A and B are shown apart, each in its own frame.
Chain A
């Protein structure tokens, strides 16, 4: 069963505007972590932000913030003040439990294009 769902295959945003990339997840484990990664056209995977299931506040890292709605099982990534360099694939991922050997499951990704 698909555990991570990213329903937006592609998104467009105007430079300097904010954009929200959707991610929903499915788990019955009370302990889990949610991660967002960026993959530019050069191919590397860059870690952006992390949200733990017990975290009381939404995670923020610079222009990235995570809109974590636990009851709805959603962990949307918000990018503020978009830049041309933000154009990339964005992946949401989840790991259940505290064992780092547990699989990190990735969503299908969203391709973000920032327009000048």
Chain B
């Protein structure tokens, strides 16, 4: 059983298009995240979200927007794609236990290529 799943695994699209990446977790976790991994393998948080609060990294362009239809899903919408958006995008989730530092479980990643 896949704990955190993402679709699609690969996404090739042209500049200016709008695209979405879907993420689902079946772990019953309260918090979900989106990360971007650039070509140098550097991982950076984009968003964290639970049913109470969305926290946006201030460096993320507003062309990126997370949408959560329910606790198990956090989709990433990207408008007006740019060449610099090419990267691997990871979804992750963690429990939100008070007073506990929970590890995050990652999805398999979505490799986005903008041409």
Contacts and interface: CB of A to CB of B under 8 A. Distances in A.
Contacts of B90: 45
Chain A: interface secondary structure?
strand
Contacts of B103: 35, 47, 50
Given A50-B101, A52-B101, A98-B101, A108 B55 contact: no
> How big is chain A's contact interface, by range?
20 to 34
Interface residues of B, number: 34
Contacts of B48: 100-101, 103
Contacts, number: 62
Chain B: interface secondary structure?
loop
Contacts of B40: 108
A86 B109 CA distance: 20
Given A43-B108, A100-B102, A104-B33, 9 more contacts: A39-B41, A43-B111, A44-B108, A47-B103, A91-B43, A98-B101, A100-B50, A101-B55, A108-B42
